[in-house]
Amino acid sequence: MVKLRIALLLSTVAVTSSCAGLPLPGSGPAPGEAISQQERQQGAQAHAQLLQQFGDVYSGRQSDYVVRVGQRISIQSGLSDAQNDFTISLLNSPVNNAFALPGGYVYITRNLVGLMNSEAELASVMGHEVGHVAARHSSQRSSRNTIGQLLALGLGLLTGSGDIANLAGQAAQLYTLRYSRQQEYQADELGITYLTRAGYDPFAAADMLSSLAAQTRLDASASGRNARSLPEWASTHPDPAQRVARARAEATERGAVPGAGTRDRDAFLNAIDGMLYDDDPSQGIVDGNTFRHPDLRLQFTVPQGYTMQNGSTAVVVTGSNGQAQFSGGTDSGNLATYIDGVFRRLAGNNQQINYGNVRTARINGLPVGQATARVASGSNQVDVTVTAYDFGGNRKYHFLTVTRAGQGIGPFGSMLNSVSRLSSAEAAAIRPRVIDVVTVRSGDTISGLASRMAYRDYREERFRVLNALGSGNALRAGQRVKIVVYGR
Ligand SMILES: [Zn+2]
């Protein structure tokens, strides 16, 4: 969340899990058919939007490694023999997710990579995602979930030329929607086939799924669950126990022997040592219902039950009675011209949104301007309110809130009143976490190493999940493990 950019998303209905059906027989090419020109174009169109929504590509040295592994596994799919036909992106996102687009685009978040314990596990997740693409699952799915359908449902606010960008989040949601169970099993099988072909231990897939299931259980029990709305791999890939069992059976069927195949654990641990973990403070952090940005020195709190999606240009807040978007940056005008600019960009070329007077006030010491307009959204009318905050030094930020007509700022009153400066002490307290790979020495214990984890709670549980250490596992000297520590 750094630059000013209007990308209004109006979706008061959560778009989830609308494809529980079976794959449509004969509705796509057989798995492995080469990437078509049309698929290349589809992928290229959505690529930039997805990067923006998922925090952009991680800038650390780990990206090169993930690209290499991703290309090595992706060419096993039959989509293309050329490694460069696959665009692999390590996303700078604190959620655990992976997905792929038609045209050879494969994405994995750094947090999901951090959860893994070998190169083979990394390859297994990307192989699974490429499997969805090779089997053309998204084309089967998008026959039910097209952007056109979303608009027909009245979820889009059609206001002019900016509209295509406005669909960014919805496009991303479409591609990360839940596949059918049959499609998931097929992607698992294809992924395991690719693992085997690339020379990796196919049992890595089952181990990765076990770690993900353990992480999901830990998240569910850990206190202070964040109001994050980006879908996680676990939520779009249900039934982990069943999948672990099937993945083990698949590996056994291929004649693999547990513990015998290539994992490349050391290469993996060397590569990810020092990688950022959880939130990236330079993008702002989500802590419970509060968003804090230590560099921009600002914070706000969203209503209970509402979720935040922290993209690279805006924070989108979504709940049952409306949607809001926070963005902003440098602006040399006054609050009235700033608000006018927001409405103009929202309206797009050659159109106009009529808003009433700009009301002024002070909130937490900040000069604030606010104006509301009634806008047509499909066949419905909505209230669009711009609330702009002057942080001084030409820095202005605003909330754009959208509610049903007649509701004004609706449920967002407390949120709009919560926008405030972050003190230097508060900003300094927000520190990045990184993965530290350490070698166990004789005498080290799980609880001893876990006490170094940079968390207030669940240190040992987090340490065990991060290193796939069950209750029966003990440490041995010389073994390498991951610890999450503060980076500075
Ligand atoms: Zn999947």
Radius of gyration in angstroms for the set of CA atoms belonging to the chain, rounded to a whole number: 23
What residues contact residue 260 under an 8 Å CB cut-off, 6+ apart? Answer: 201
The amino acid at 434: V
**Which of 437-450 are b and which e, b meaning 16 or more Cβ less than 10 Å from the residue's Cβ?**
bbebeeebebeebb
Check residue 158 and give its pLDDT: 30
Question: What is the whole-number distance in angstroms between the Cα of residue 484 and the centre of ligand 1?
Answer: 27
Question: What is the whole-number distance in angstroms between the Cα of residue 98 and the centre of ligand 1?
Answer: 8
3-state secondary structure of 131: helix
Question: What is the whole-number distance in angstroms between the Cα of residue 189 and the centre of ligand 1?
Answer: 11
The single residue listed with the structure tokens 């991680």 is 58
Question: What is the whole-number distance in angstroms between the Cα of residue 288 and the centre of ligand 1?
Answer: 28
Check residue 49 and give its pLDDT: 76
Residue 271 confidence (pLDDT) above 80? yes
Q: What is the 3-state secondary structure (H, E, C) of 189-251?
A: HHHHHHHHHCCECCCHHHHHHHHHHHHHHHHHHCCCCCCECCCCHHHHCCCHHHHHHHHHHHH
Encode pLDDT of 370-397 as tens digits.
Answer: 999 998 766 778 899 999 999 999 999 9
From the number of C-beta atoms within 10 Å of its C-beta (0-12, 13-18, 19+), residue 460 rates as: middle
Length of the chain: 488
Check residue 31 and give its pLDDT: 67
Question: What is the whole-number distance in angstroms between the Cα of residue 23 and the centre of ligand 1?
Answer: 13
Per the model's pLDDT, the better-predicted residue between 10 and 29 turns out to be 29
From the number of C-beta atoms within 10 Å of its C-beta (0-12, 13-18, 19+), residue 290 rates as: middle
Question: What is the whole-number distance in angstroms between the Cα of residue 192 and the centre of ligand 1?
Answer: 13
- Would you tell me how many other CB atoms lie within 10 Å of the CB of residue 266? 12
Question: What is the whole-number distance in angstroms between the Cα of residue 186 and the centre of ligand 1?
Answer: 9
Which contiguous run of DSSP H or E holds residue 61? none
Question: What is the whole-number distance in angstroms between the Cα of residue 74 and the centre of ligand 1?
Answer: 15
Question: What is the whole-number distance in angstroms between the Cα of residue 139 and the centre of ligand 1?
Answer: 14
Question: What is the whole-number distance in angstroms between the Cα of residue 100 and the centre of ligand 1?
Answer: 9
Give the HSE-up count for residue 79: Cα atoms under 13 Å, Cβ half-sphere. 34
Give 87's DSSP letter.
Answer: E
Question: What is the whole-number distance in angstroms between the Cα of residue 418 and the centre of ligand 1?
Answer: 39
CB 397 within 8 A of CB 326: yes
Q: What separation, in Å, do the N-terminal and C-terminal C-alpha atoms of the chain show?
A: 22
How far is the C-alpha of 76 from the C-alpha of 202, rounded, in Å? 14
Task: Determine what percent of the chain is predicted with pLDDT higher than 70.
Answer: 82
Residue 368 confidence (pLDDT) above 50? yes
Give the pair of three-digit tokens for residue 417.
């009143």
Question: What is the whole-number distance in angstroms between the Cα of residue 1 and the centre of ligand 1?
Answer: 28
How far is the C-alpha of 80 from the C-alpha of 33, rounded, in Å? 8
CB 129 within 8 A of CB 98: yes
Question: What is the whole-number distance in angstroms between the Cα of residue 129 and the centre of ligand 1?
Answer: 6
β-strand partners of 482: 437
**Confidence band (pLDDT; 50, 70, 90) for 127?**
very high
| Planar angle of CA 466, 295, 300, nearest 5 degrees | 85
Question: What is the whole-number distance in angstroms between the Cα of residue 236 and the centre of ligand 1?
Answer: 7
Residue 227 confidence (pLDDT) above 80? no
How far is the C-alpha of 103 from the C-alpha of 85, rounded, in Å? 8
Give the pair of three-digit tokens for residue 130.
């490429």
CB 353 within 8 A of CB 320: no
From the number of C-beta atoms within 10 Å of its C-beta (0-12, 13-18, 19+), residue 92 rates as: buried
Give 57's DSSP letter.
Answer: B
Domains 284-428 and 433-486 are alike in CATH topology: no
Look at strands 105-109 and 98-101 and give their pairing: antiparallel
Give the pair of three-digit tokens for residue 60.
């650390």
Per the model's pLDDT, the better-predicted residue between 145 and 87 turns out to be 87
What residues contact residue 225 under an 8 Å CB cut-off, 6+ apart? Answer: 219, 288
Question: What is the whole-number distance in angstroms between the Cα of residue 119 and the centre of ligand 1?
Answer: 19
Question: What is the whole-number distance in angstroms between the Cα of residue 86 and the centre of ligand 1?
Answer: 18
Question: What is the whole-number distance in angstroms between the Cα of residue 223 and the centre of ligand 1?
Answer: 28
Question: What is the whole-number distance in angstroms between the Cα of residue 132 and the centre of ligand 1?
Answer: 7
Which contiguous run of DSSP H or E holds residue 329? strand 322-330
Question: What is the whole-number distance in angstroms between the Cα of residue 114 and the centre of ligand 1?
Answer: 19
What is the CATH topology of the domain spanning 433-486?
Membrane-bound Lytic Murein Transglycosylase D; Chain A (3.10.350)
Residue 15 confidence (pLDDT) above 90? no
The mean predicted confidence, pLDDT, of the chain is 83
Question: What is the whole-number distance in angstroms between the Cα of residue 440 and the centre of ligand 1?
Answer: 35
Give the pair of three-digit tokens for residue 271.
């590569």
Question: What is the whole-number distance in angstroms between the Cα of residue 481 and the centre of ligand 1?
Answer: 28
The amino acid at 119: E
Q: With CA atoms as reference, report the closest residue to 69 among 337, 215, 341, 262.
A: 262
Return the domain boundaries, the chain. 37-273, 284-428, 433-486
Question: What is the whole-number distance in angstroms between the Cα of residue 436 and the centre of ligand 1?
Answer: 29
- Would you tell me how many other CB atoms lie within 10 Å of the CB of residue 351? 12
Encode pLDDT of 155-185 as tens digits.
Answer: 333 332 233 233 334 444 444 556 788 888 9
How far is the C-alpha of 361 from the C-alpha of 335, rounded, in Å? 11
**284-428 CATH choice from 3.40.1000.10, 3.40.190.10, 3.30.930.10, 3.40.980.10:** 3.40.1000.10
Question: What is the whole-number distance in angstroms between the Cα of residue 204 and the centre of ligand 1?
Answer: 16
Residue 258 confidence (pLDDT) above 60? yes
Look at strands 480-486 and 380-392 and give their pairing: unpaired
Question: What is the whole-number distance in angstroms between the Cα of residue 138 and the centre of ligand 1?
Answer: 11
